Amino acid sequence: MEHYTSIIIFSVLSLLMIAAAIAAVTSSKIMRATTYLLFVLFGTAGLYFSMFYTFLGATQITVYAGGIVVLFVFVILLIGKGSIDVTHTSKLRYMAGVLASMSGLAITLYIIKTTHFIADKLDPNGVSMRTLGKTIMGTDKYNFVLTFEVLSILLLACMVGAILIARKK
Amino acid sequence: MIIPAEYYLVLSAVLFFIGVFGFFTRRNLVSLLISTELMLNAVDINFAVFNAYCYDHLEGYIFTLFGIGIAAAETAVAIAIIINVYRNMKTIHIKNLRELKD
């Protein structure tokens, strides 16, 4: 029984995520769609935990569920009536969407099925905070201090841009 | 029992194409943003899986971390644009958004 615990948790999590994602793109009430998106994001955090990437899961919950979903709720409440009516699209466009996504999914699944992955590197200890900090802030090979600085400049520019765009004239 | 890497990849492919489907069929700016978040999320799962199962260093991990940060920045700018569009045109339905200049 203990052998199958992780696979059972994974199946439940993935079924919940797929159901929530389908509900998020088909629900006609936009607030409900946001709530379903929140379920998908929590499920993703669960996947990161199941790969022993605990810091990544914590970041996912903090930034996505705590920041982005709150932004969505804010904009829905600000816009109010204008966002409620999600009118349905035409039948032709609906069928085209189904066809495009299904064919893309079929190609991707075929490629995954025919590719052999050398997958034996999963480490049950996860990544220690010391390793992670040295990787983010280090300057050697396989270290990422330049990316970190570029990301901080990008966040600053986005903050200034968002204030500038949303400001009242 | 260790979950095979292919299971994660199949799950993330399904989530990505659900996002693509939503992007094609929804007609509302906020709904389009929700579909974009679904797709970004699926790609983040892919990065983390490849790093956890097939690779020694931490590239995928850091990519996912920074991808989450970039998604936050992108959402902030997109929501500012949506609020501005709503203030100028009183709608966020795509059919009515035919002009960018006023």
**A43 and A118: one domain?**
yes
Q: How far is A113 from chain B (nearest CA, A)?
A: 8
**pLDDT in the model for residue A49:** 92
Question: Residue B9 sits in which domain range?
Answer: 5-96
B97 close contact with A: CB closer than 8 A:
no
pLDDT (tens, 9 = 90+) of chain A, 169 residues, equals: 667 888 899 999 999 999 999 999 988 888 889 999 999 999 999 999 998 899 999 999 999 888 899 999 988 888 876 555 555 678 888 899 999 999 999 999 999 999 888 777 787 888 888 988 998 898 888 889 999 999 999 999 998 998 888 787 6
Question: Residue A169 sits in which domain range?
Answer: 128-169
Contact A83 B61 (CB under 8 A): no
**pLDDT in the model for residue A2:** 65
**pLDDT in the model for residue A16:** 95
Assess if residue B101 is contained within a domain. no
**A107 and A146: one domain?**
no
Q: How far is CA A150 from CA B15, B74, B89, in A?
A: 29, 15, 35
Number of H helices, E strands in chain B: 3, 0
Phi and psi dihedrals of B31, rounded to 5?
-65, -35
Residues on chain A touching B18 (C-beta within 8 angstroms): 18, 21-22, 25, 101
> Would you call B25 helix, strand, or coil by DSSP?
helix
Structure tokens at A140: 């050697």
> Would you call A108 helix, strand, or coil by DSSP?
helix
**A121 and A134: one domain?**
no
**A54 and A22: one domain?**
yes
**pLDDT in the model for residue B54:** 84
Q: Which residues of chain B have pLDDT under 50?
A: none
**pLDDT in the model for residue A84:** 57
pTM of the predicted model as reported, rounded to 2 decimal places: 0.90
Least CB–CB distance from B48: residue in A17, A51, A159: A51
Q: What is the CATH classification number for the domain harbouring A101? A: 1.20.120.1200
**A22 and A69: one domain?**
yes
Contact B30 A161 (CB under 8 A): no
**ipTM, 2 dp:** 0.91
Q: What is the CATH classification number for the domain harbouring B33? A: 1.10.287.3510
- Is residue B48 within 8 A of residue B62, CB to CB? The reply is no
**A114 and A152: one domain?**
no
- Is residue B52 within 8 A of residue A53, CB to CB? The reply is yes
State which amino acid sits at residue B66. F
For Cα atoms A150, A130, A156, give the angle at the middle one, nearest 5 degrees: 20
**A118 and A37: one domain?**
yes
pLDDT in tens, B32-60: 999 999 999 999 999 999 998 888 888 88
Number of domains present in the structure of chain B: 1
B65 close contact with A: CB closer than 8 A:
yes
